[in-house]
Amino acid sequence: MISNMLESSLRKLRSDYVDGLFIHSMENMDALQNDAVFESFVRFKEEGKVRFTGFSTHNERKTLVECVDPRYEQVVDAVMLRYNHMEGEPIEPLIAAMRARGIGTIAMKTLAGGKHGRLERFVNDRMTYPQAAIGWVLANDDIDCAVLSMDSYSLVDTYVAASGRQPQRSDDSLLREYRDAVDHTYCRVTCTSCEISCPHNVAISDVMRHNMYLEDYRQRRKAMDSYASLSEQRKPFPCKGCRGYCTEACPYGLPVQDRLLRTHQLLTV
């Protein structure tokens, strides 16, 4: 099956090879413990159809630790992980350990929610918020590159203007301003503090991320597809009538229960 998917992608791309082949949203290492997947990854590289293999993750604290195990050496060349100025520092030692083992690092969620369309006021005479946020990410030498969402052509100008600059963290007044503005609304994507409080095992972090795709990125299609792929058992059906343990548990004061209910309503067909 993976072979068919790869061949189909190569046909669409009209290419003999791709640079990277990733399994997306790996919450643990199970997929790479599957012999068929493991052997396919190794074979694709031997055949020259893929240069690098790896995975993306929304569970950095687990997968970044486990992926450096020598048993994954043949299949984990690079990892796409969430990293930004609002919550990146605690996972920096894990990133450094991975980088020290020669694993490539691709940062995603780099704009910390990037309130697209509502960023106009986060600008000074030298740069815009996205430029400052990208600079913060790339100032870490353990990060090889950053991926950015683009929902308008105007962002091309913003991002191109950021390239070629010496990445730095020293000028963070814009980042501070942004942090102050979104502190009580931005769900830290690497955080799971509220999830352990839920007696019904609702996938709170996932639902909050789908909300981010919808309300911050304004990517309705992506949000709906991601939400549809979530197991029904982990959707926020039990939230109505619950006393809201998750809201009480959020250290940042987010209205978690309200957001879960709203997200479910907006993303359920």
Judged by beta carbon, residue 202 or residue 214, the one nearer ligand SF4 is: 202
Judged by beta carbon, residue 49 or residue 109, the one nearer ligand SF4 is: 109
Q: Is 234 helix (H, G, I), strand (E, B) or coil?
A: helix
Burial of 130 (0-12, 13-18, 19+ CB in 10 A): buried
CB of 183 to ligand SF4, least distance (A): 10
| Strand order across the 104-108 sheet | 18-23, 50-56, 78-82, 104-108, 145-146
- Cβ neighbours, 10 Å, residue 181: 15
Stretch that binds ligand SF4, among 131-139, 162-170, 214-222, 248-256 (CB under 6 A): 248-256
Stretch that binds ligand SF4, among 89-97, 156-164, 166-174, 183-191 (CB under 6 A): 183-191
Judged by beta carbon, residue 54 or residue 113, the one nearer ligand SF4 is: 113
**206-245 mask for ligand SF4 (x: CB under 6 A)?**
--x---------------------------x-xx--x-xx
* Cβ 235 vs Cβ 207: under 8 Å: yes
Q: How many CA atoms lie within 13 A of 231 on its CB side?
A: 6
Considering only residues 98, 106, 260, 267, which one is a binding residue for ligand SF4 as defined by CB under 6 A?
260
Q: For ligand SF4, how many residues bind (rule: CB under 6 A)?
A: 27
Residues in 104-123 that interact with ligand SF4 by CB under 6 A: none
Among 39, 24, 100, CA closest to 75: 39
In DSSP terms, which residues pair with 56 in a beta bridge?
A: 80
Residues at the interface with ligand SF4 (CB under 6 A)? 187-188, 191-194, 197-198, 200, 202, 204-205, 208, 236, 238-239, 242, 244-246, 249-250, 252, 254, 256-257, 260
